[in-house]
Structure 1
């Protein structure tokens, strides 16, 4: 059997199993339900519903401006900074909304850790698996 096939399979398996395993560990260790894990996962998905179309529209608009005439290296640096800030704003905005309206009871570090594990777990499963 080809080693590359094994590593691809192992990568996909671990990208799905590790977030779920972390959720199992945290819920048992801190005696919490899965509600916050699922809320965190849903918040990641909802943040991407806004984030991806925003980046699409902004890339169209920015390509029609003076940015299109910049040197390639400057365009790359601008895109890295812009896309990083965009991801941060959309995801942090979604997390703020989660703690403000959806998970008002999550005020301890244990509950925050579980919600964050759900958020990161969904990101890992969707984008990494």
Structure 2
């Protein structure tokens, strides 16, 4: 029973990370660094268009094609690598279009951070947050959750930790794309696509499938740390170009 209580606590923490934390951090950026709320909604829209509206329906449609299923089964590593690359292409191009056409006059470091919070926050909400809200609602309503007592409590917290790292990565990738738009140096867009493809590497999927949770999270943590370094670095770079942020 104690383990169930810890699991529920960790679910609350993860739900908070996925649903409220990005918006609260965006509010800090708006107040302290004069960021624009529009950046948050554009980031969320960029993810929604790239994934739920375009990429995922396309993958679902391809899933009915015999050649696609055969390829996925006979070339697992290549297939997973291409899936990661496709995520990078769809999301980074969507990010590029949103920044280029809808935030082009507000390409500041602070707005880049808020855009990344919106993009990563939308992903966290749709992939994890809503599921955890459903689980918590069922638990509080007295409905049975069969796997709750069988799942190690820490796994419910790992989901939140993973979202923290993913959001950090999205902020870093936003910096690369924002710089590509601002300087018209498209190679930075390709860097963002490559970064995205690497963080969605087959290594992560295979480690997760084999139950090596910490190895998988450690791999992602390396990229999250690099993304944080990029975010700090680009603050200085952008400040030089336009004055203090």
- The whole-number CA distance in structure 2 between the counterparts of 1:87 and 1:10 is 27
Q: Match for residue 27 of structure 1?
A: 30
Q: CA deviation at 1:90?
A: 0.5
114-123 or 5-14: which moved more? 5-14
Task: Name stretches of at least 5 consecutive residues in structure 1 with no aligned partner.
Answer: none
Relative distance call for 1:28 and 1:112 in structure 2 (3 A) is same
Contact conserved, 1:55 with 1:83, CA < 8 A, in 2?
no
1:39 equivalent among 38, 42, 57: 42
Helix, strand or coil at the partner of 1:60: coil
Relative distance call for 1:33 and 1:4 in structure 2 (3 A) is same
Relative distance call for 1:69 and 1:124 in structure 2 (3 A) is closer
2:61 equivalent among 57, 60, 64: 57
Contact conserved, 1:23 with 1:117, CA < 8 A, in 2?
yes
Contact conserved, 2:72 with 2:79, CA < 8 A, in 1?
no
Relative distance call for 1:14 and 1:108 in structure 2 (3 A) is closer
Runs of 4+ in 1 over 4 A off after TM superposition: none
Contact conserved, 1:47 with 1:91, CA < 8 A, in 2?
yes
Helix, strand or coil at the partner of 1:64: helix
Helix, strand or coil at the partner of 2:64: helix
Relative distance call for 1:104 and 1:67 in structure 2 (3 A) is same
> In the TM superposition, what whole-angstrom CA distance separates every residue of 1:45-95 from its partner, at most 9, and x where no partner exists?
11121111122223333x42652662xxx42x1232011011111101111
- The whole-number CA distance in structure 1 between the counterparts of 2:87 and 2:19 is 22
TM-score (norm 2): 0.46
- The whole-number CA distance in structure 2 between the counterparts of 1:97 and 1:8 is 35
Q: CA deviation at 1:16?
A: 1.3
Contact conserved, 2:55 with 2:87, CA < 8 A, in 1?
yes
TM-score (norm 1): 0.82
- The whole-number CA distance in structure 2 between the counterparts of 1:17 and 1:26 is 15
Give the number of equivalent residue pairs: 124
Contact conserved, 1:27 with 1:33, CA < 8 A, in 2?
yes
Q: Match for residue 217 of structure 2?
A: none
Q: Considering only aligned residues, what root-mean-square deviation do their CA atoms show, in Å?
A: 2.0
Helix, strand or coil at the partner of 2:20: helix
Contact conserved, 1:43 with 1:119, CA < 8 A, in 2?
yes
